[in-house]
Amino acid sequence: MSSIPSTNLSALSARFQSGELTSRAITEAFLQQIAAQNTEINAYLTTTPEAALAAADAADARHRAGQTLGPLDGMPISLKDVLCTVEARTTAASKVLEHYQSPYDATVWARLKAAGMVLLGKVNTDEFTMGASTEHSAYGVTKNPHDQSRVAGGSSGGSAASVAAGMAPCSIGTDTGGSIRVPANFCGVTGLKPSYGRVSRWGTIPMASSLDTTGPLAPTPADCALLLQAIAGKDPRDATTTTAPVPDYTAALQQDIRGMRVGIPREFLEIEGTDAAVLAELERAKETLQELGATVTTVSLPHSPYAIATYYIIAPSEISANMARYDGIRFGQGAHRDTLQEIYYETREQGLGDEVKRRILIGTYSLSSGYYDAYYRKAQQVRTLIRDEMQAAFQQVDLLLSPVSPTPAFPIGQNTSDPLKMYLEDIFVAPVNLAGNCGISVPTGHTAEGLPVGVQLMGPSFGEDTLLRAAHHLYTARTA
């Protein structure tokens, strides 16, 4: 049983479908891994063993009756603790929602549940997803399974760590400015940020609504293709979701990438402070893609250096609006005081962490009278320039290639006293969110110290089939 958790999702599904393993045996093995490792790693905030085993038994019964629902039936999964579930509390890693129990499932979980998946539990995140290291959780930092002195990345650090540590074969996270791709990179797993509108966000606690996306983390791009197939598509409860047809992502993996055009943004190579190991892995990925038949050229995204500044005006502005609902009355825990103002003050003072307060203040300032035009409106104009430049680049190339983060996973505590340095961890990933495009973090190698390091591939809006195809072939070639 101990060998089961190290198996990737696709292979695990095949073993279940063939009858070699039962869903209960698989689920029990992962629950054992959680019991053995979670105290140290701190990936899970809540586990659901009884519900998991009941769902596994139901999958086994379907399999015996020849009624298996598909490739995800009977497969365990962890969910970032911002997706609402009826099986377990949804805390957003915040004290203000410590005991919040949702009466409904997020659309993404409802679709995965309908596909027969088994919920192992809810995993850690930076509070309300505001962070790049999962150090801003009210329930403690998640540690990197490859080196427990280092961060797992954020904000989907619990998702990435649960997969990397063999405590789940896959997970669902969210990505507003790199929060799937950065932790996937730090933990050595694959992380896919779908295009804005490809996957429903209904029932997922929002951070910045024009930037938020929900997507999979798993060992391989092929695993991510399986999960995206199940969660993609129009949702009448989310007006931002597209009516565009959902391609067969798994079938797309079978096509080679000969003749594919890949561009490396010149400006990304000029960013100071990028680790030599990161640049070396980028060069190896370039060479591998060329060996596979792709052509790699240099392109220009002149306004991409302004992406971080733009992101950290737009995102906090939307955060300040979204966080207004946590008033101690409608959602979560509230302070018992005599006046409405006192309830608001005490609820936020006691229930919210420093990073959340910082972003609310930044956003409120950016939207305030006299500063709206100078900050928020100007940031939206720059966002349009970044989006237009990326669209123009995709007229020349099929995909873009870059680092994911400037450095491999950094030591816990290194950047917590310097918010600006922490924010710069998103410098390569934020442009994709601003443009609404898709991106994927592909694990391709390790540093001399044994830390995972990979690369990012970026595609045009709703180009996940091409993105996953290239990621699959790159991953397969680099890890063979």
Domain interval for residue 86: 4-252
Predicted local distance difference test score (pLDDT) of residue 329:
81
Structure tokens at 436: 């609404």
What CA–CA distance (Å, rounded) separates 228 from 244?
14
User: How big is the CA angle at 164 (ends 106 and 143), to the nearest 5 degrees?
Assistant: 90
What CA–CA distance (Å, rounded) separates 126 from 156?
7
What CA–CA distance (Å, rounded) separates 368 from 374?
10
In a domain, 374, yes or no: no
3-state helix, strand, coil in the chain (%, to 5): 45, 15, 40
Helices (H), 323-435: 340-351, 354-367, 378-396, 419-423, 430-435
Predicted local distance difference test score (pLDDT) of residue 293:
98
Tell me the pLDDT of the chain (480 aa) as tens digits: 344 555 799 999 999 999 999 999 999 999 999 999 999 999 999 999 999 999 999 999 999 999 999 999 999 999 999 999 999 999 999 999 999 999 999 999 999 999 999 999 999 999 999 999 999 999 999 999 999 999 999 999 999 999 999 999 999 999 999 999 999 999 999 999 999 999 999 999 999 999 999 999 999 999 999 999 999 999 999 999 999 999 999 999 999 999 999 999 999 999 999 999 999 999 999 999 999 999 999 999 999 999 999 999 999 999 999 999 998 787 767 767 778 888 888 888 888 999 999 999 999 999 999 999 999 999 999 999 999 999 999 999 999 999 999 999 999 999 988 888 888 889 999 999 999 999 999 999 999 999 999 999 999 999 999 999 999 999 999 998
User: How big is the CA angle at 190 (ends 243 and 287), to the nearest 5 degrees?
Assistant: 105
In a domain, 45, yes or no: yes
Predicted local distance difference test score (pLDDT) of residue 160:
98
Predicted local distance difference test score (pLDDT) of residue 1:
38
What CA–CA distance (Å, rounded) separates 121 from 324?
28
Please give the torsion angle defined by the CA atoms of residues 95, 96, 101 and 105, in that order, rounded to the nearest 10 degrees. Answer: -100
In a domain, 105, yes or no: yes
Predicted local distance difference test score (pLDDT) of residue 5:
54
Predicted local distance difference test score (pLDDT) of residue 328:
77
In a domain, 197, yes or no: yes
In a domain, 412, yes or no: no
Q: pTM value?
A: 0.96
In a domain, 72, yes or no: yes
The domain total for the chain is 1
Collect all residues with Cβ–Cβ distance below 8 Å to 20 and sequence separation of at least 6: none
Active site residues: 80, 155, 179
In a domain, 61, yes or no: yes
Question: Closest Cα partner for 264 from 399, 150, 373, 134?
Answer: 399
Between the alpha carbon of residue 292 and those of residues 257, 287, 320, 478, the distances in Å are 7, 9, 46, 11
What CA–CA distance (Å, rounded) separates 21 from 281?
37
What is the CATH number for 142? 3.90.1300.10
Predicted local distance difference test score (pLDDT) of residue 25:
97
In a domain, 361, yes or no: no
Predicted local distance difference test score (pLDDT) of residue 353:
95
